[in-house]
Amino acid sequence: MNQNSIQVKAEPRVLFVDMNSFFARCEQQVNFWLRNRPVGVCVYTGKYGCVISLSTEAKERGLKAGMRLNDVMAICPDFIPVESNPVRYREFHTKIINVLKQYCQDVVPKSIDEAIINLTNYDHSDPLTIARKIKREILEKVGDYLECSVGIAPNAFLAKLASVRGKKTGGLMMINPQNIDEILSGLKLGDLPGIGANMSYRLERAGVKTPLEMRHTSPERLKAIFKSIDGIYWHYRLNFIETNIVAHDYRGMQAMRQISAEKRKNIEYIDQLFMTLCLTLEKRMVHHKFYCKSIGFTARYEDGTRWDDGFAITLPVQDAVNLMRMIRLRVEKFEKLSGTGPVFNNDITQMRVAVTNFVNTGNMFYSLFDDIERQDTALKTMHEIKNKFGSDKLIRAMEMTDSKVIKDVIGFGSVKDLTDLDYKMPVAEPSNPSPGEEYIEY
H/E element, 75: helix 69-75
Q: Does 230 bind Mg ion (CB under 5 A)?
A: no
Strands 290-301 and 172-174: unpaired
Q: Which CB, 19 or 313, lies closer to Mg ion?
A: 19
**Phi–psi pair at 156, nearest 5 degrees:** -65, -35
Question: Which string of x and - marks every residue 64-103 that binds Mg ion (by CB under 5 A)?
Answer: ----------------------------------------
- The CA distances from residue 123 to 12, 119, 127, in Å, are 11, 7, 10
Q: How far is the CB of 144 from Mg ion (least distance, A)?
A: 18
Give the C-alpha separation, 378 to 380, whole Å.
5
Q: 424: Cβ–Cβ under 8 A, 6 or more apart, which residues?
A: 311, 312, 313, 314
Q: Which CB, 367 or 414, lies closer to Mg ion?
A: 367
**Phi–psi pair at 2, nearest 5 degrees:** -105, 115
Number of residues that bind Mg ion (CB under 5 A): 4
Q: How far is the CB of 164 from Mg ion (least distance, A)?
A: 9
Q: Which CB, 9 or 95, lies closer to Mg ion?
A: 95
Q: Which CB, 243 or 367, lies closer to Mg ion?
A: 367
Binding range to Mg ion, per CB under 5 A, among 12-20, 70-78, 205-213, 348-356: 12-20
Q: Which CB, 53 or 294, lies closer to Mg ion?
A: 53
Binding range to Mg ion, per CB under 5 A, among 105-113, 137-145, 290-298, 405-413: 105-113
Using the rule CB under 5 A, which residue among 12, 15, 17, 18 binds Mg ion? Answer: 18
Q: How many helices (H) and strands (E) would you count in the chain?
A: 17, 13
Give the C-alpha separation, 172 to 164, whole Å.
9
H/E element, 98: helix 86-101
Using the rule CB under 5 A, which residue among 322, 367, 414, 419 binds Mg ion? Answer: 367
Q: Which CB, 144 or 408, lies closer to Mg ion?
A: 144
Give the C-alpha separation, 213 to 217, whole Å.
6
Q: How far is the CB of 253 from Mg ion (least distance, A)?
A: 29
Q: How far is the CB of 60 from Mg ion (least distance, A)?
A: 16
**Which residue in the list 114, 147, 242, 373 is annotated as catalytic?**
114
Q: How far is the CB of 332 from Mg ion (least distance, A)?
A: 32
Query: 415 near 323, Cβ under 8 Å?
Result: no
Estimate the crossing angle of helix 219-226 against helix 230-238, to 10 degrees: 140
Give the C-alpha separation, 267 to 409, whole Å.
22
Q: Which CB, 18 or 319, lies closer to Mg ion?
A: 18
Give the C-alpha separation, 312 to 423, whole Å.
6
Amino acid at 343: V
Binding range to Mg ion, per CB under 5 A, among 10-18, 270-278, 279-287, 309-317: 10-18
Give the C-alpha separation, 90 to 113, whole Å.
9
Q: Which CB, 138 or 343, lies closer to Mg ion?
A: 138
Q: How far is the CB of 314 from Mg ion (least distance, A)?
A: 14
Q: How far is the CB of 160 from Mg ion (least distance, A)?
A: 11
Q: How far is the CB of 28 from Mg ion (least distance, A)?
A: 14
> For the chain, what's the residue count?
442
Query: Is residue 114 flagged as an active site residue?
Result: yes
Query: 150 near 17, Cβ under 8 Å?
Result: yes
Give the C-alpha separation, 149 to 243, whole Å.
22
Amino acid at 439: Y
Using the rule CB under 5 A, which residue among 27, 106, 113, 309 binds Mg ion? Answer: 113
Strand partners, 404: none
Active site positions, annotated: 114
Interaction site with Mg ion (CB under 5 A): 18-19, 113, 367
